[in-house]
Chain A
Amino acid sequence: MARKPADKPKANIPELTKDQELAAFRDMLLIRRFEEKAGQMYGMGLIGGFCHLYIGQEAVVTGVTMASHKGKDAQITGYRDHGHMLVMGLDPKGVMAELTGRQGGLSKGKGGSMHMFSNEHRFYGGNGIVGAQVSLGTGLAFASKYRGDNTVSISYFGDGASNQGQVYESFNMAKLWNLPAVYIIENNRYGMGTAVTRASGQPNLSLRGVSFGIEGEQVDGMDVRMVHDAAKRAIEHARSGKGPYILEMLTYRYRGHSMSDPAKYRSKDEVSTMRAEHDPIEQVKARILDKRYGDEDWFKAVEAEIRAIVTEAADFATADTEPAPAELYTDVYVDGLGA
């Protein structure tokens, strides 16, 4: 497979500024700690159903969001969505309370882990059907162009999702109408238990737009600098009216597909090697120390700040009440329309 080892010396590495490095570290750490907590709470029975953690993939959404107009550009993803919301600035308490199905959750407890949204932050979910977000994201791009509001739509989907037919129907329309759509393929090597090479005739997913005339790149998705740099290029391309762009982020999920995955399809060794040698957070941390952007005290302070946020979210999500029974029949139609 065309994977670039991250430890190979890279030429012309697009460095981040000090502020960007520090912010990237903080955002990624928030995702990591939040997800670890969610995993614990699932184990305690506070979270039910499916719960897909983003641990290992933090650099992708962090680098892309950093390159976007946060809060203006639309973003949409599948069910592995907690990290996206945290980086986009949605309230961690609201996210966690949705995971526990409480009234203070972003969807009043009615959506769950896979279904959260925020018009204010232009986050459109939170989608449970593999591949559906690609057509929806293309529609968000259509609306941008229709309105001429100079925004871009960013759609995230997995290596597994990249085989769904509607992805290609969307690619075609996006190029046909030169929509400001950026497609981020989060290639974490597996769709559930199926390795990319067992699901894709052409495993280089950055080439999936070729027959539609859409440019694509393979990016080291464990290195937030590379993610940010490629995303800037892609977003600029889309925003300037040149149409869609595809980025295949080579990334890795450390945990099982969802909380109930025995993960027999890969070796423990593969996981520990990725963690030890390519961890996105450790990479930033090493650079921050190396360049003296921050010292151990700074890291301690950030850890403490993040822990406080996550603990507050977990406490809120545990203490909050379940939605009132009357909520059963609300939000089916607008304007109180009934069946």
Chain B
Amino acid sequence: MPITILMPALSPTMEEGKLAKWLVKPGDAVKPGDVLAEIETDKATMEVESVDTGTVGEIFVSEGTEAVKVNTPIATLLAEGEDASASPKAAPAPVAAPATTAPAPTAAAAPAQPGFTPQNDPDLPAGVEMVEITVRQALNEAMAEEMRRDGDVFVMGEEVAEYQGAYKITQGLLQEFGERRVIDTPITEHGFAGLGVGAAFAGLRPIIEFMTWNFAMQAIDQIINSAAKQLYMSGGQVTAPIVFRGPNGAASRVGAQHSQDYSSWYSSVPGLVVIAPYSAADAKGLLKAAIRSNNPVVFLENEILYGTTGLVPKVDDFVLPIGKARIAREGKDVTIVSFSMGMRYATQAAEKLVAAGVDVELIDLRTLRPMDSATVIASVKKTGRLVTVEEGWPQSGIGAELVARVVAEAFDYLDAPPVRVTGKDVPMPYAANLEKLALPSTDDVIAAVNAVTYRS
């Protein structure tokens, strides 16, 4: 059978082109690599090469023809011994279907995104002792315990070893685990983040500490392009079991370049797990879960919360489920949803509101991705009112995401438009008075609750 030569595509998006010139005529002998024709689009010119040995049979499209559709037969090539009469007639292209028989085929619809059902928090043994520790200690214990448990876990970052951590989260780890597993790096975030991802590809379980998340912007390419996408790009083959952690968001008076909340940035990336705990117990249980996770985890801490204390159960192995929100207070009048530092404003506001007779339901998301919207939606169906609280910027924030999900799934239950309490839409100012104005406050949360409950 003669070979049909089709109009080729120069690029993935090309649909048609001009057959600019034929360099052969019927009867010419050709071999692989010989140029048969030149085609042109508005972007480029390309030569059509023969892929076979043979003789040019018939030419269907004459040179100079514009708008030749990709995959249109343009010529035939005869094998040895064949003659032109064996040539199939040009057109109709095999793909063309009569318009009357069926509607044009449409692209397959994307399947529904599978949901994620998180586990519940583990039941604690009756009468378990609760120990009051700081968030700092909780994080430190989580790392130490996981390092004792698994020799592949190591910590790397700026000032994590000899200096004991810029914020003392890695205190004592060098002494216990030695310099093979607790490693000071040069100030090279992009380099050591990438190194950590590479080590994770090879099966280690790195904990990469960023002195603050502001400096991880130097490394964000490795976090997203290398860590988050690897499993997908490898068809499920290569995992990146790595934890990136450090303080996120505003500290105090450190100015615009040192005060950004990255929650919503990372939470928008498929492939990443994003955790942002508030309490000491959650910090401990979720960091342990993060280190054990086979997925890359972005673990967002908060410098101001490091010194706050909370009760942590004294059990051998306290691990909390990723992706599960915690109902910090049950109530029926209004749902307040927050996480990390936002929980401080939300908690303080809730105390005052409850005292004033508003029965607040307060939800701590704890994990931002996967986001436990089921818990939030169930709550809003009960209360009919939603206030979200975060330190980050309003546009495309966590609150924006929550509101979108609630409006989509509980629209009929809403008794008031949801209100987002966020940081102001400006870089963080340094001046004390402006910084205060730029950050959300307890009063902002109370005002938002008053607005959604139509009180004043």
Interface 0/1 of B147-161, CB less than 8 Å to A: 000000000001100
Cβ of B432: which chain A residues have Cβ within 8 Å of it?
48, 101, 322
Interface 0/1 of B244-270, CB less than 8 Å to A: 000000011111111000000000000
Distance in Å from the Cβ of B149 to the closest Cβ of chain A? Answer: 29
Q: Is there a chain B Cβ closer than 8 Å to A332's Cβ? A: yes
Number of contacts between A and B (CB, 8 Å)? 132
Contact A110 B430 (CB under 8 A): yes
Contact A130 B187 (CB under 8 A): yes
Q: Is there a chain B Cβ closer than 8 Å to A327's Cβ? A: yes
Q: Across the two chains, which residue of chain A brings its CB closest to B211?
A: A192
Q: Is there a chain A Cβ closer than 8 Å to B162's Cβ? A: yes
Chain B residues bordering chain A, tally (CB within 8 A): 37
Cβ of B191: which chain A residues have Cβ within 8 Å of it?
165
Please pick, from A127, A191, A327, the residue contacting B187 in the complex, using a CB distance under 8 A.
A191
CA gap between A138 and B420 in the complex, in Å: 42
Distance in Å from the Cβ of A59 to the closest Cβ of chain B? Answer: 24
Q: Across the two chains, which residue of chain A brings its CB closest to B424?
A: A328
Distance in Å from the Cβ of B193 to the closest Cβ of chain A? Answer: 11
| Given known contacts A115-B256, A328-B424, A110 and B188 CB-to-CB distance under 8 angstroms | no
Cβ of B218: which chain A residues have Cβ within 8 Å of it?
129, 131, 164, 166
Contact A129 B430 (CB under 8 A): no
Distance in Å from the Cβ of B376 to the closest Cβ of chain A? Answer: 26
Q: Is there a chain A Cβ closer than 8 Å to B304's Cβ? A: no
Q: Across the two chains, which residue of chain B brings its CB closest to A262?
A: B163
Q: Is there a chain A Cβ closer than 8 Å to B166's Cβ? A: yes
Distance in Å from the Cβ of B62 to the closest Cβ of chain A? Answer: 49
Q: Across the two chains, which residue of chain B brings its CB closest to A49?
A: B253
| Given known contacts A163-B187, A192-B166, A193-B159, A112 and B430 CB-to-CB distance under 8 angstroms | yes
| Given known contacts A48-B252, A101-B253, A115-B255, A328 and B186 CB-to-CB distance under 8 angstroms | no
Give the one of B187, B251, B437 with max A CB within 10 A. B187
Contact A129 B257 (CB under 8 A): yes
Q: Is there a chain B Cβ closer than 8 Å to A319's Cβ? A: no
Can you list 21 A-B contacts (CB < 8 A)? A48-B252, A48-B432, A49-B251, A49-B254, A101-B431, A101-B434, A109-B434, A110-B429, A111-B255, A112-B255, A129-B217, A163-B187, A163-B188, A164-B187, A191-B187, A194-B184, A199-B185, A199-B187, A200-B186, A264-B163, A327-B431
Q: A interface vs B, CB < 8 Å?
A: 48-50, 98, 101-103, 107-115, 127-131, 160-161, 163-166, 191-194, 198-200, 264-265, 322-323, 325, 327-329, 332, 339
